[in-house]
Structures are given as C-alpha cells and as structure tokens.
Amino acid sequence: MLDIPSRVRVHVETPLAAQNDMGVCDAFEQYAPVREPDAMNAPHPPKVAGIDSTVPSPAHTVAPAPVTAGTPTVPAASSGSSGPGVLLTDRLAGWVSDLTTLHELTERLTRTDTLPDALQELLRAGAALVGARRGLVVLEPADRLGPDTMIGLGLGRADLGHIETVPRSALSYGRILEGLPGGEGEIAEPDLFAEDGLDPRHREVAARLGYAASYAMPLEADGASGRLGAAVWLYDEPAEPGERRRHLIGLYVRYAGEHLARLLEVERTRACMKTMAEELLPSRLPRVPGVQLAARHRTGPRGGGDWYDALPLPDAALGLAVGSVTGSGPSAVAAMGRLRASLRAYAVMEGEDPVAVLSDLELLLRLTEPARSATALFAYCEPALRKITLAGAGHCPPLVLGERRTEFVETSVSAPLGMLACWEAPSVELEAEPGETVLLYTDGLLHRTGDPVDRAFARLHAAAAGVPKPLRHDPGAIADHVLRTLLPDGAAERDSDEDVVLLAARFE
C-alpha cells in the first residue's frame, strides 16, 4: 500500500549520467509517474522508515574512460567542479534514490492491515527490487501454530500446484523452511538448467512454467517469532541480482519480517476469538413447524459480546433472543457465553413470561458481574398462532417485514441490564401475518453504518422495505439483502470493533 507517486531524480553531469545507473528506483516505472525533482531539496535523513541508511558503495558507478590522444575531452560541470566531485554527486544521487525507494516501499507495506495483503505487497516490491517478474511466498511459522499459506505473483493456483509437486529438498524455499544445509540465508540459482544436480521433477516444472533462475530469501522476525517463511522470485532467463540489489532487498525483507510477525499475531488472535464466539453461539438453528429461521453474525478481530439464540420450548413454542455485552476481547466473549447460558435456563423455566426471564437475568448480572452491563431482547413465539410476546432491556426494537407493512415494533422503554437496582418493563404482544418476517438485531448493525442513530434506523427500514419479492420467502436471503444494502461494498465483512447480529424469523 506504499503508493509511490514519483521518483527522485538528481541532476548530474550529463555525459557521466549517461554512463551510470542511477539506482534501483529506475526499476519502478510500473509504480510511479515522474515529477519535478523538488524532493532533493530536503536534507538526507539519517534513518528512513526503520531502515538503516548505511548503504555500501554503489557498484553501478563506473569510472570515466581514460582520455587518449585524439579523443575529445568532456568539459567539467558548469559549476566548475572537478571529475571526482561529479562522481561523488553521482554516488550520492544513487544512495538517495535507493533510500527513497526503500522509504516508499516500507510505507506501502506498513499500510497493509491483513496478512494476505502484506504478502502480496512483499512479492510486488521484492520483484521490482531484484528485477524479477514472478515469485511466490510460503508462510510456515517455525512454531507450527499457523496459519500456513502459499501466495503467488504472476502464478496461478495450477502453477503453484505444479511447484508443490517438486520435492521440497530440491526447492530453494524448501531448504530454507526445512533448515537443510545451504538454507541458512539467501539462495541464488542463476541458471537452473545449467546445474548438474537439478532434480528431474524441478527441471520439468521449471520448463513448463517458463522460469530459468530464482532468488530466495528467508522471512524472519526477531524475538520469539523466529522464522516465518520464505520468499522466492523467478526469472524468465538466467539471471541473479547484483550486490546492490541484494543489499536493498535484504533491508526491505528484514523490515517486512517484523511487519509480518505483527500481522501474524493479529491473525491468530482473530481466529482464536472467532472460534470462541462460534463455539458459544448455536451451532445450528432449530427446526420448528410454522417458522423458518436464519442468522448472520460478524465479529471483529478482538471478539465482541453480541450474541443470538433460538431454542425450542415446551408446548411447541420457540424462544428467540439477541443481546450485547459491553466491552470486547476474551472477557466480553466469556461474559456473553455466561449470559446466553443463563437466559436459556430461565427461558426453559418461565419462557412464556419474557419480563420474568429478563428480570432474573438482571438480578444475576447485578450480583455476579456488577461492573458490567448488557442489553437483551427475548421473544416467546407460538408459531401455530403466529403470536409473539417480547420484552427488551435497552435493546433495539424488532422490525416486521411483510407484503403490507414494514415497521418497527413499539417496545417499552427500559434501561440496559445492570443499570437499575430492579429491572421490570411491560411486555409487548405482536401477531404476525402469514409470510411476514421478524428481524431481531443488535445495535452493532446500526453503528457500523457510521450514521447517527435516527439516520441508521431509517436506512435499516429502507433496506428491509426494498427486499425483492422473490427473496421474501427465504429468511436467509432477506438477512443477506439487508446486510448488503445497509453495509455496502463488503463493509459487513471488514474488521470493526462493532459486532453484527441479525436473526430473521419468517412465519408461515
């Protein structure tokens, strides 16, 4: 995500500039348009984006050809500087060009906030630095805790599959990941087909995919993370990066390893919290005659306290509940699990009276977790009669969607659970028409829109009213349409501190 807007150009003596490479920045024509060289007015920074600015003497600087008799001499710079001064200017220009490149690439990498995006950016930037066109990165943390993945640049899934058929010991990234001899650092294979000991399967795959050379580097991080994986860049013709390119890619990969280690921890935390939340929520919704159910749940990387439940009750009744616990992280997820389990017990004992269920839940929360509050809504449904009795504690009102109406249910106003010494509010009765769907949701659905509450409610009402008629027979399709309309462009799937819960019940 380092969007490189420009290249730094340094004005040096024209004849010498024609003889010398001006640095690796010239490899980035694909990234940037050219602008005026005003960036060179800034002083040379001692350190750029966490990268040591000490760069070895550029190998690309070529000494001027000796002057022989009869050869016209090249005049010195108009400023009157001598030959060595011009060479020094050229050398400094190369350093600044390369440091600018590293600065821009590391900033681009820093802006990636997911592991797949960071790996793709690593491949793109690395390919430009080493002068390759294709490559792949294999993520296999040394602690074997995952996640393990392989991502390619210019290589399709089938191509990666062909590469995986080669014995790992015959591949450069395999020697790095397995800790085999010669896999401790970078591995350059400048001409694969000229190697006598090349594995026959590797030779076949290289010929099939059309690469003749490779350059591999380990991905490592300091501290407990250790080795994270390996990156390989592939050349179409026999080639290998020079000393200067190797130095620059080494600096970049060292920084990338630290960034990948941070994203790896975030990914593991996200997966852990998602697993915990899913285990505490219903694994499947019950099948009850007369009603169809569907639920959608989205949680952030730290895990949240939004939950839902649907449980069969005596006398062919059905209990529906949604709620939200304050906070986020493991403690909120654990509190959500305790609250949901307690509500299930109260619903089985006295579910026909939603006020009694929430009153017991209020007392439990106040006695066991006085520092925490929660919202909840419980509905006692009689599918045969299409009758719903519900009560809410600081929760959003349900939304009824049918052929003749789309309206919010008027529930009694009440504070959240844990906010009053004694909670009690009257219940509300609702009779659904055949084919109508009742939507229960948490306030995270409204907060994710980024709009004020009244505007978010209006948008939710419009999204429900706009469900196409062919979709109204399927509560899952209704829930998906509402999510796509209310949170467009995949906003429902992005990381957020706000959980989303949407429970749809369609009465036949």
- Per-residue pLDDT, 206: 95
- Per-residue pLDDT, 420: 66
pLDDT of 88 higher than 60: yes
- Per-residue pLDDT, 344: 94
pLDDT of 29 higher than 50: no
Band the pLDDT of 72: cuts 50, 70, 90: very low
Band the pLDDT of 99: cuts 50, 70, 90: confident
Most confident of 53-57, 101-105, 256-260: 256-260
- Per-residue pLDDT, 210: 95
CA distances 93 to 17, 61, 217, 248, Å, are 10, 11, 28, 15
CA distances 24 to 126, 233, 241, Å, are 11, 16, 11
Span 109-159, pLDDT tens digits: 999 988 999 999 999 999 999 999 999 999 999 888 888 999 999 999 999
Span 410-441, pLDDT tens digits: 887 688 888 765 656 788 999 999 999 999 99
Strand order of the β-sheet with 317-328 is 304-313, 317-328, 374-382, 387-393, 428-431
Mean pLDDT of the chain: 82
User: What is the helix (H) or strand (E) element at residue 305, kind and residue range?
Assistant: strand 304-313
Give the SS3 label for residue 468. coil
pLDDT of 216 higher than 70: yes
**Ordered structural domains, the chain, with CATH:** 1-57+80-111 (no CATH), 130-269 (3.30.450.40), 281-507 (3.60.40.10)
Q: Rounded distance, CA 134 to CA 346, Å? A: 60
The token pair that represents 356 in the structure block: 């009694």
pLDDT of 41 higher than 60: no
Q: Rounded distance, CA 203 to CA 395, Å? A: 65
* Least confident range of 96-100, 256-260, 375-379: 96-100
Span 265-322, pLDDT tens digits: 888 887 887 777 777 888 889 999 999 999 999 887 677 789 999 999 999 999 999 9
pLDDT of 345 higher than 90: yes
* Least confident range of 167-171, 298-302, 394-398: 298-302
Say which residues have a Cβ less than 8 Å from residue 471's Cβ, sequence separation at least 6.
477, 478, 481
CA distances 360 to 273, 322, 326, 350, Å, are 28, 16, 19, 10
- Per-residue pLDDT, 250: 93
- pTM, entire model: 0.61
Average pLDDT over residues 253-261: 93
Band the pLDDT of 66: cuts 50, 70, 90: very low
Q: Rounded distance, CA 68 to CA 304, Å? A: 78
- Per-residue pLDDT, 7: 37
